[in-house]
Structure 1
Amino acid sequence: MKRVVVIGAGVGGLITAAALARAGLDVTVLEAQVYPGGCASTFFHQGYRFDTGATLAAGFNSGGPMEGVRAATGVAAWPVHPADSAMVVHLPGGLKVNRWIGEKRWEAYRVAFGENALDFFRWQERTADALWDLALRQPPWPPQSLEDSAAVVQTGLAWLGNRAP
């Protein structure tokens, strides 16, 4: 049996370790901290708990990136469910903006930021959707060779071609 060492018990390291173990390799994970999580972890200071790094999970939808992770690691099903709200953003002056999931978000944005801000939030969502679509095509990133660079360009052009009106 081949032995592999994975450096780091962040999300990427743990997913890699699980996929390699499922493929039959003998995996050891090394982590410098006393707990796993990498940049998506928690620290305590003066009696308070602070979540750091990626604190929102996404991509669990059918066909999303976590579907590939689930299949590679052998997870039967993710123990997740959709939420009504992603978070509450606290702004200066005491303004709180709930980041609703679904159609309620547009009214919350309009009330908090005005009618003109809706175009920004629509652009933001279109951009995020486009980047998710591109990422799911899994171009070699970062490119390590001329062939990788060509593959990234080819993937990008194919992606652009599919998005043309």
Structure 2
Amino acid sequence: MNCLAGIVNFILYVVNVVFLVVGILLIVLGSIMLSHINQFTGIASLVDTNTIPVCITVLGVLIFIISFFGCCGIFKQSTCMTGTYATMIFILFILELVLTCWVFVNRSAFVKDMTALVNTVWDENTAANDYPMGVLELAFNCCGDNSYHDYGTQTIPGTCCGNTNRTAACSYDMATMR
């Protein structure tokens, strides 16, 4: 039985070290995104672009802290740290359930908000705003608000031309996160 407990502790320790590294990587990724977010001046003036990088950084910090307690609790055989780790994992699990239910219940509002965002970006798609629609077209591999026909007689931009599917609507792709 003691051998089995040692194997379980080792596996749990390795998993926590992996999550510790993932937490550090998320912190670095969020920080890099935050430092480079000003490159998207067209979208930055229309919406709050700091939200995603800040959320990624905060998620990285949370994962790092929880994994740290897990690693220390296992390594030092501390029941207090292991209990803190278990409590944090339980709270995180409950928060994930609540968030999943909230997203499921409010899915139509989310889709509506994303469609409104794409419509706003489309309306502000001018040279003065650095053509913010191009960022969405590149990120979601879509073309125009509804399709490439939205450009009418204008020249279809390169952000659209590289897409294999020019009929993909950015408002739909962004709302469904495709």
Normalised to the residue count of structure 2, the TM-score between the two structures is 0.25
By percentage of residues, which structure has more helix? 2
Where relative contact order (Cα < 8 A, 6+ residues apart) is larger, the structure is: 2
By percentage of residues, which structure has more strand? 1
